[in-house]
Amino acid sequence: MDYIDSTSFFEINPHFKVTRKIVFGETILIYDNILTEKSFNNLDKISDNFPKTLFLPNYYNQNGKTYIDARTTLEFKNNYLMMNFLLNQIFQHFNGLNVSWFEYLVINFSKSIEPKKNMIGNIPHYDQEDFASVLFFDDIEGNGTGFYKTKTGMHLILNKTDEDISFCNKFLDYGYDYYFTQKDFETFYDEMEFIQAKKNRLLIYRGRMLHGAVHNENMFKNNFRKSMITFHSVMRN
C-alpha cells in the first residue's frame, strides 16, 4: 500500500524559480517547481485516486458546433487553508498585494470525447476575479494557457463596455462554446501568447485578461488534462 503523506501538503520548495513574462503589457508570473517534490507528488496522487466513474460527458452545442468532453472538478472544502497561506505569501512578496482567500481546493480534469479539427483549445474568456492561479500537472508538449488580443486591440476585459468593444456585441453567444479553432482565432484575434504547461508550474495572471486552456485535437483523448485553479480579488482597506 502506497500511503499518502499528509504532513507535507503544500510545502513550498525554497528553491523554486520565478520568471516574469510580459504579455500585452501585463506581468504574468511563472513559478517553476513551486511545491516540494513530495508535496507535488502527494497532490498528484490524491487527486488521481478519485474514481473516474464520476466523470460524465458534457455537451456544448452553441452555434451548431458540438464539442463533447468529460470533466469534473474535485472540490475539497476543508483542505484549502495551506494553499492559501502559500499563495498569499507569493502575492505579498511578488505583487505587493493582499488577496482574498479562495474557498476551495479545486482540481479540474477534462478529456476530449469528440475533439475538433484545428482546435486551439478552450475559448478565450476572462475570469471574474482580479487574479487567477493555475498549477499544472503534466509536461505534454503544446498543452498550456493562451493569452489573446482581439482584432479590436483588447486583451483585458474590465467591464461591459470593454466586452462590447472587443467583440462588437456578437461575442457573447459565441462565447458559450467550449472550444475554438484556428479559423475562429483568425476571425476575432490578432495575437496569442502561449505559456507551456509543466509539472509543478504555477502561473499567476490577471483574471481579466482574455485567456483559455490550450490543447489541440490530438491531446487528452485517452488521458485527462489536470490543473488546479484559484481565484483572488485584491483586498483594499
* Residue 127 vs 138, nearer CB to Fe ion: 127
Which grid coordinates belong to 35?
511545491
Of 127 and 190, the one with the shorter C-beta distance to Fe ion is 127
Nearest distance, CB of residue 212 and Fe ion, angstroms: 7
C-beta closer to Fe ion: residue 127 or 162: 127
Residue in 26, 32, 114, 127 binding Fe ion, rule: CB under 5 A = 127
Q: Give the three-class secondary structure for 163.
A: helix
Q: Which residue is nearest to Fe ion (CB)?
A: 127
Using CB under 5 A as the binding rule, whether residue 130 contacts Fe ion is answered as no
Q: Is residue 102 within 8 Å of 85, Cβ to Cβ?
A: no
Measured from the CB atom, is 74 or 229 closer to Fe ion?
229
* Only segment of 67-75, 94-102, 127-135, 185-193 that touches Fe ion (CB under 5 A): 127-135
- Per the CB < 8 A criterion, the answer to whether 188 and 177 are in contact is no
C-alpha cell at 95: 505583487
Find the helix or strand (DSSP H, E) in which 17 lies. strand 17-23
Judged on CB neighbours under 10 Å (0-12, 13-18, 19+), 130 is middle
Binding residues vs Fe ion (CB under 5 A): 127
